[in-house]
Amino acid sequence: MNSDAAKEILSAYRSADRDGADPIFHEALNQMESDSELKKWFEEQQDLDQTIREKLASIEPPADLQAKILARIRGEKVRRFALPQVWLAAAACLIVGGIALFYSTRQRGPDRFQEFKSDAMAMVSVQGGPALDLKTPDLSETQTYLRDHQAPRDDAIPARLQSMETAGCRAFVWKDYPASLTCFRLPDGLLLHLVVIDRKAMGNANIPVGFKSVGDWHVMFQQKGEMLMMWATQAPMEQFKQMVVKAGWEGAKGVRGILGVKGVAGVAAVQSEAPPEGASRRGGDRI
Amino acid sequence: MRSELDLESIVSELYSPLYRFAFALSRNETQAADLTQETFLILAKQQAQVRDITKIKSWLFTTLRREFLRGLRSQSTHPEVELKPEHQDELVTDSEVLKASDAATVMEALAGVDESYRMVLELFYLSDLSYKEIAATLDVPIGTVMSRLSRGKEQLRTLLAKTASPSKIIPRPNSRTSL
């Protein structure tokens, strides 16, 4: 194999971990041992590839794209499982019965949590930031507003967050349950969102544990007494962890399960998902 | 028996690279987002026909490219291929110039590569598909992929050196949230 042929083959080589086992590259790679010019060329080529990949990876999709895709897919699933009218009629009785049972027991499964997770993420990830009823840098004003609107809130905001400015807050209703959103303004200008809702809104759904990323968002759920709280931010994961673990520790009274830290618990995770689009109307609204 | 696809995981893993590929093809944020959505919707509709889950990634890129080309045909705006042979013989070795460039410059340079090489390059850099998967996606022989990659990279390298300018910032479709 001459040098040009080796170069052509090596142009398709990505990295040792992905292509190292492919025998088509072996001869060309071995040839580098005795061809210093080829080796130099290859190293420059790999450097170029890496640089280009890094540059292109900085192009980020729209914040709500994943949510839009998932919403459309869910819509498609509904259509895909649609049945002929005869069967629909037969199934109607079962559905009515099911609905009656559903409302009589008020029990809701994991889908309820998934739905909330998606809706909450759609609300906070709106480009330009979520709609807020009240825009104020003063945390106490947001708490007062939420209290006046009978929205659930965390009255034991950790000291670290208390010293931060807020962007504002919003009271809304999700599936008949009042809920709230409070946005903290982090020192680097990014926001940390806190969504609070009654834990009963999730029915008997299990809340999975751990920090997770949702696109370029980092999210964590936490149970505190009768409340379910969702933290979400685009700040770096390490910063987020430090902030939320610290927050959980400081406000540990009545808190259940955070990251296995003793006395601090109840963290649930959003796993590689994002919510459907929309859902950000103002003032005591529904999402 | 193949279990139903975990579409949400697939979306989560692949929507970003697919969007970037769509953006490279269309050079338009809205169209790129639409193409990406449409591609996943097609997967949702046709998932029963997907026999090999390991090929989902190349299937998605193939589908997105097909949808893009279909759109072009319907608009009758398919550009003429303009060969630029002068790029092929130049060799630029200053990798620092490339490191100083930004995503916009790279995209601009990619757009300047001969069309016959461009698609292979875009798949190589944006999808991270192997040469075999690229061959399957484009339905061309493996040797063709390799030769196009080799020539395309040389063209791209030359174009980057010519166009690199730190002041060219690509409009980012997703800026971080701030109020």
ipTM of the complex, rounded to two decimals: 0.75
The residues near B166 (Cβ < 8 Å, ≥ 6 apart) are: B100, B101, B102
Tell whether A21 and A145 lie within a shared domain: no
- Residue by residue, what is the 3-state secondary structure of chain B? CCCCCCHHHHHHHHHHHHHHHHHHHHCCHHHHHHHHHHHHHHHHHHHHHCCCHHHHHHHHHHHHHHHHHHHHHHHCCCCCCCCCHHHCCCCCCCHHHHHHCCHHHHHHHHHHCCHHHHHHHHHHHHHCCCHHHHHHHHCCCHHHHHHHHHHHHHHHHHHHHHHCCCCCCCCCCCCCCCC
Tell whether A20 and A135 lie within a shared domain: no
Structure confidence at residue B96 as a pLDDT band (50, 70, 90): low
Structure confidence at residue B9 as a pLDDT band (50, 70, 90): confident
User: Residue A144 corresponds to which tokens in the numbers above?
Assistant: 């007062």
Of A57, A76, A91, the domain-final residue: A57
Rounded to whole angstroms, how far apart are CA atoms B100 and B98? 5
Asked whether the beta carbons of residue A191 and residue B23 sit closer than 8 angstroms, the reply is no
| Max avg pLDDT among A3-12, A100-109, A254-263, B159-168 | A3-12
Comparing A146-150, B73-77, B89-93, the range with the smallest average pLDDT is B89-93
Rounded to whole angstroms, how far apart are CA atoms B138 and B62? 7
Q: Which of B12, B150, B173 sits opposite A11 (nearest CB)?
A: B150
Tell whether A49 and A146 lie within a shared domain: no
Among chain A residues, CA nearest to B129 = A14
Which chain A residues touch B130 with a CB distance below 8 Å? 12, 14, 18-19, 22
Asked whether the beta carbons of residue B98 and residue A72 sit closer than 8 angstroms, the reply is no
Asked whether the beta carbons of residue B106 and residue A168 sit closer than 8 angstroms, the reply is no
Q: What is the H or E stretch that residue A186 is in?
A: none
Structure confidence at residue B38 as a pLDDT band (50, 70, 90): very high
Give the pLDDT mean for A265-285: 35
Please give the tally of structural domains in chain A. Answer: 2
pLDDT score for B97? 52
Q: Which of A73, A121, A127 to mutate to test the interface with B (most CBs of B within 10 A)?
A: A73
Tell whether A281 and A154 lie within a shared domain: yes
Tell whether A124 and A32 lie within a shared domain: no
Q: With an 8 Å Cβ cutoff, is A21 touching chain B?
A: no
Comparing A158-162, A176-180, A248-252, B45-49, the range with the smallest average pLDDT is A248-252
Structure confidence at residue A279 as a pLDDT band (50, 70, 90): very low
Comparing A123-127, A148-152, A207-211, the range with the smallest average pLDDT is A207-211
Q: Which of A22, A44, A273 sits opposite B8 (nearest CB)?
A: A273
**Which residues between 260 and 279 in chain A have a beta carbon less than 8 angstroms from any beta carbon of chain B?**
272-274
Nearest Cα residue to A15 out of B141, B160, B130? B130
Tell whether A274 and A229 lie within a shared domain: yes
Could you identify the residue written with the tokens 């609204």? A285
Structure confidence at residue B84 as a pLDDT band (50, 70, 90): very low
- Output phi, psi for B121, to 5 deg: -65, -45
Straight-line distance from the first to the last Cα atom of chain B, in angstroms, rounded to the nearest whole number: 50
Tell whether A47 and A76 lie within a shared domain: no
Asked whether the beta carbons of residue A61 and residue B174 sit closer than 8 angstroms, the reply is yes
Asked whether the beta carbons of residue A59 and residue B101 sit closer than 8 angstroms, the reply is no
Q: With an 8 Å Cβ cutoff, is A248 touching chain B?
A: no
More confident residue, A135 or A98: A135
pLDDT score for A142? 93
Rg of chain A over CA atoms, in angstroms?
25
More confident residue, A254 or B99: B99
Could you identify the residue written with the tokens 């591609």? B39
Asked whether the beta carbons of residue B173 and residue A124 sit closer than 8 angstroms, the reply is no
Q: Which domain holds residue A37?
A: 3-57
User: Residue A96 corresponds to which tokens in the numbers above?
Assistant: 């009515």
Asked whether the beta carbons of residue A128 and residue B107 sit closer than 8 angstroms, the reply is no
What angle is formed at CA A79 by the lines to CA A76 and CA A83, rounded to 5 degrees? 155
CA distance A253 to chain B (A): 31
CB A28 within 8 A of CB A44: no
Q: Could you tell me the domains of chain B? A: 7-75 (1.10.1740), 85-163 (1.10.10.10)
Could you identify the residue written with the tokens 């492919």? A22
CB B172 within 8 A of CB A60: yes
pLDDT score for A41? 92
Tell whether A187 and A162 lie within a shared domain: yes
Tell whether A168 and A84 lie within a shared domain: yes
pLDDT score for A60? 86
Tell whether A86 and A227 lie within a shared domain: yes
Q: Which of A10, A11, A111, A117 to mutate to test the interface with B (most CBs of B within 10 A)?
A: A11
pLDDT of B86 > 80? The answer is no
Report the SS3 class of residue A180.
strand
Tell whether A236 and A124 lie within a shared domain: yes
pLDDT score for A93? 58
Structure confidence at residue B158 as a pLDDT band (50, 70, 90): confident
Nearest Cα residue to B68 out of B124, B23, B107? B23
Tell whether A96 and A165 lie within a shared domain: yes
**Which residues between 53 and 112 in chain A have a beta carbon less than 8 angstroms from any beta carbon of chain B?**
53, 55-63, 65-66, 68-70, 72-73, 76-77, 80
CB A256 within 8 A of CB A199: no
Rounded to whole angstroms, how far apart are CA atoms B21 and B63? 12
Asked whether the beta carbons of residue B177 and residue A128 sit closer than 8 angstroms, the reply is yes
Q: What is the pLDDT of residues A220-244, one digit of tens each?
A: 888 888 889 899 988 888 888 777 7
Q: Which of B37, B157, B174 sits opposite A69 (nearest CB)?
A: B37
User: Residue B70 corresponds to which tokens in the numbers above?
Assistant: 């279909």
Of A39, A57, A75, the domain-final residue: A57
The residues near B125 (Cβ < 8 Å, ≥ 6 apart) are: A49, A52, A53, A56, B110
Beta partners for A57? Answer: none
CA distance A262 to chain B (A): 32
Q: Which of B157, B173, B177 sits opposite A48 (nearest CB)?
A: B157
